[in-house]
Structure 1
Amino acid sequence: MILYATKQTIKDLNIPMIEDLSQLNKIMAQEVIEEQTNDRLLEWGLKSFYFDNRKCVQAVNYASKLTIFLFDIKEEEIAYIANGIAIYLMDIYEKDKNMIKILEKFFEDYPSCAFSKITDRSIIASLNHNQFEFADDGYAFYHYIENGVLKSKEINKKLIGKC
């Protein structure tokens, strides 16, 4: 999986680019990028935003435009963003046994991810549109707080009409 981040997201979350990685990690990341570039199902755009003074990330799949919101992301958790996407995907499709099997196979076949800078203007436009239209620049998420807990699963299910 390739996670293409905006310039501001790279800065906000201190995401290491390939040139900043150790030699071994650099080789692994380059392999992922070489093998998966232009397979839009394996490519995701990332954009950071703030909600309740916490860093959050929006991820949009290049092929489907499926959107996932990840909340309260810490810099030390950057390496786990792909895992967060996977967890939400499994939750979104929990009642669809065929999709769960497909997702499990997908994650087995593509266990690694790499970060790169986003250049796809269509995905950047989708990220911007989602942030302002659905998320109301984060303010819409206040409606999903119940007893002091953000219902992030409900947010991500609502995005694809599963709620």
Structure 2
Amino acid sequence: MSDHLKYIAHYPQQIHTQVEQMLAQGTLGHYLTSRYPTPHDVRSDSALRDLVEQYKRRYMKRAAPLSKVAYDPNIHVVKHALGTHTRVSRVQGNKLKSKNEICISRLFKDAPLGMLEMILVHELAHLKEANHDKAFYQLCQHMQPDYHQRELDTRLYLIELEANGPLYGAAGT
């Protein structure tokens, strides 16, 4: 298996073969840009927070509030993370205070909106479901019915990015 295909290692061999063919023919980028013609315009941490809050208000009204939502330059795909959800608990006096934070890899500032939304849906689902189990993925699909296709496309985007560089050009930080 090609090193690029590590992002789809758990997918069926048929998908590996298709992706290898697309890479060899130079058509993977075209496939992605035909599905996602432009990158999003969610450039700042505050715009990202607004987008996350829209999803949270729509699908998870009773979930705990978020204390931080930001792009994080320190999250790297190498660590197998595209975003993180952390729950920080601190003792304040005689009470235990909990804060929820969502950070998304800065890499996704230049990605299509559908991929950014997939990642934020994934991280929001962790507010209710800690593990990647059936309930977790059902919640992801409730918020985004085509969640699994977007997840695959995001993995393909990472393969294309690693193999051939940015699809849309880096629009800045």
TM-score (norm 1): 0.30
Q: Which has the higher strand share?
A: 1
Return the index of the structure with the highest Cα Rg.
2
TM-score (norm 2): 0.29
